[in-house]
A and B are shown apart, each in its own frame.
Chain A
């Protein structure tokens, strides 16, 4: 699986958009970008994933650059409950749940 690089921490004001970047310059053609988050002391939670097109669901949007070497997770209106560690994971289609969690980005949403 390709290696990912994320900032260690970010801050965001409540109600504003949170934009979390991820670099994955060695991504290969059949690898997907997944985002999970882990709120303190809870199990990880799936957020969104994509291959090359931008994706949106009820939780977030995922923007993948045309060369697929980086992506951005967007939480459009961050709330205090979005404070968590956010993990960007790149993995191939045959890995079947064997995910490599890095250190992630600690997002702190402030009132």
Chain B
């Protein structure tokens, strides 16, 4: 049961370009949408998160855009750098219940020189 669909599965972006990863969710009870970044050999780490009462959140070069009516959200990485090469996971959480994050399937990002 895939409640969070993530695309693309992999992405290659040139240094300085914009990386865009998209997610769509089904569960309208989700009220917290985090993005995780995972480097090889490491566990995922929280990168940025948004609540559905705002349409955009920006932290440095990372921006989440959120469209509640379409049940979609996306991660934009501006001025992508080779150090951003990692796997990115979107997720949804219903904070009112069991605190279980539901993850997307992940996007492997490669930023080339």
Partners in one complex: no
Chain A residues at the B interface, C-beta cutoff of 8 Å: none
Chain B residues at the A interface, C-beta cutoff of 8 Å: none
